[in-house]
Amino acid sequence: MNVSARIVDGTEISRAIRAEVAAEVAQLRAAGVVPGLAVVLVGADGASEVYVRSKARACREAGMHDRTLHLPAEVTAEELYGVIDGLNADPDIHGILLQLPLPAHLNPKPFLERIDAAKDVDGFHPLNVGRAFIGDPRGFVPATPAGIMEMIRREQIPTQGRHAVIVGRSLIVSKPLMSLLMAPGPNAGVTLVHRHTPDIAPFTRMADILIVAVGKPGLVTADMVKPGAAVFDVGITRVPDPADPRGYRVVGDVDHAGVSEVAGAITPVPGGVGPMTIAMLLRNTVEAARRDAARTRKRDRRRAAP
Ligand code: NAD
Segment 170-201, tens digit of pLDDT: 999 999 999 999 999 999 999 999 999 999 99
Task: Look at residue 126 and tell me if it is in a domain.
Answer: no
Query: Is the CB of 170 inside a 6 Å radius of any atom of ligand 1?
Result: yes
pLDDT of residue 46: 79
CATH number at residue 80: 3.40.50.10860
Across the 306 residues of the chain, what is the mean pLDDT of every consecutive 10-residue run?
85 98 98 97 87 93 97 97 98 97 96 98 97 94 98 98 98 97 97 98 98 98 98 96 96 98 98 97 98 94 89
Residues 206, 249 within the same domain = yes
**Largest Cα–Cα distance in the chain?**
76
Query: Is the CB of 143 inside a 6 Å radius of any atom of ligand 1?
Result: no
Query: Is the CB of 213 inside a 6 Å radius of any atom of ligand 1?
Result: yes
Query: Is the CB of 145 inside a 6 Å radius of any atom of ligand 1?
Result: no
CATH number at residue 162: 3.40.50.720
Nearest residue by C-alpha to atom 1 in ligand 1: 170
Residues 65, 113 within the same domain = yes
Residue 5 near residue 266 (C-beta atoms within 8 A): yes
Task: Look at residue 21 and tell me if it is in a domain.
Answer: no
Task: Look at residue 156 and tell me if it is in a domain.
Answer: yes
Residues 163, 220 within the same domain = yes
pLDDT of residue 45: 81
pLDDT of residue 44: 84
At 125, which amino acid appears? H
pLDDT of residue 306: 81
Mutate which of 124, 165, 173 for ligand 1? The one with the most ligand atoms within 8 Å of its CB, which is 173
Q: Are strands 95-98 and 36-42 parallel, antiparallel or unpaired?
A: parallel
Query: Is the CB of 195 inside a 6 Å radius of any atom of ligand 1?
Result: yes
Task: Look at residue 291 and tell me if it is in a domain.
Answer: no
Query: Is the CB of 235 inside a 6 Å radius of any atom of ligand 1?
Result: yes
Atom of ligand 1 nearest to the CA of 196: 11
Residues 247, 164 within the same domain = yes
Q: Among this protein's residues, is 160 annotated catalytic?
A: no
Ligand 1 midpoint to CA 191 (Å): 16
Backbone angles phi, psi at 71, to 5 degrees: -100, 150
Set 120, 122, 255, 292: catalytic member: 122
pLDDT of residue 2: 58
Which residues on neighbouring strands pair with residue 232, listed in sequence order?
A: 211
Query: Is the CB of 267 inside a 6 Å radius of any atom of ligand 1?
Result: no
Task: Look at residue 301 and tell me if it is in a domain.
Answer: no
Atom of ligand 1 nearest to the CA of 273: 41
Nearest residue by C-alpha to atom 40 in ligand 1: 274
Domain span including residue 254: 142-273
Residues 261, 155 within the same domain = yes
pLDDT of residue 288: 98
- Write down how long the chain is: 306
Spatial CB neighbours of 55, under 8 Å, sequence gap ≥ 6: 37, 39, 66, 97, 278, 281
Residues 234, 188 within the same domain = yes
Nearest residue by C-alpha to atom 5 in ligand 1: 214
How many percent of the chain have pLDDT more than 90?
A: 95
- Number of domains composing the chain: 2
Give the ranges where 90-182 is alpha helix by DSSP (H): 108-114, 126-134, 143-154, 174-182
Residues 261, 156 within the same domain = yes
Q: Cα angle at 154 between 151 and 155, to 5 degrees?
A: 80
Mutate which of 52, 171, 214, 216 for ligand 1? The one with the most ligand atoms within 8 Å of its CB, which is 214
Residues 98, 154 within the same domain = no
Residues 195, 242 within the same domain = yes
Residue 265 near residue 6 (C-beta atoms within 8 A): yes
Residues 257, 174 within the same domain = yes
Query: Is the CB of 200 inside a 6 Å radius of any atom of ligand 1?
Result: yes
Q: Among this protein's residues, is 99 annotated catalytic?
A: yes
